[in-house]
Amino acid sequence: MAINLHVVIVPWLAFGHLIPFFQLSLQLAKAGIKVSFISTPASIKRLPQVPSNISALVDLVAFPLPSLDNQQLLPQGFEATVDIPSEKIQYLKIAYDLLRHPGKQFVVDQKPDWILADVTPYWVVEISQEHHIPLVYFSVFAAAVLSFFVSPTFVTGADGNKKMRSSPESWTSTPE
Give 90-95's long-range contacts (Cβ < 8 A, gap of 24+): 92/13, 93/120, 94/68, 95/65, 95/66, 95/67, 95/68
Contact between 28 and 1 under an 8 Å Cβ cutoff? The reply is no
Give me the residue spans of the domains in the chain.
6-140
Q: Which tens digits make up the pLDDT trace of 21-31?
A: 999 999 999 99
Q: Which tens digits make up the pLDDT trace of 57-90?
A: 999 999 999 888 766 788 778 889 998 888 889 9
Q: What percent of the chain has pLDDT over 90?
A: 57
- How far is 150 from 160, CA to CA, in rounded Å? 22
User: From residue 10, how far is each of 147, 149, 164 by CA, in Å?
Assistant: 23, 23, 35
CATH entry, 6-140, from 3.90.550.10, 3.50.50.60, 3.30.70.890, 3.40.50.2000: 3.40.50.2000
- How far is 35 from 26, CA to CA, in rounded Å? 8
- Whether the per-residue pLDDT at 154 is higher than 60: the answer is no
Report DSSP state, residue 31: T
Residue 16: closest CA among 100, 94, 81, 99 = 81
Residues with a catalytic annotation lie at 17, 118
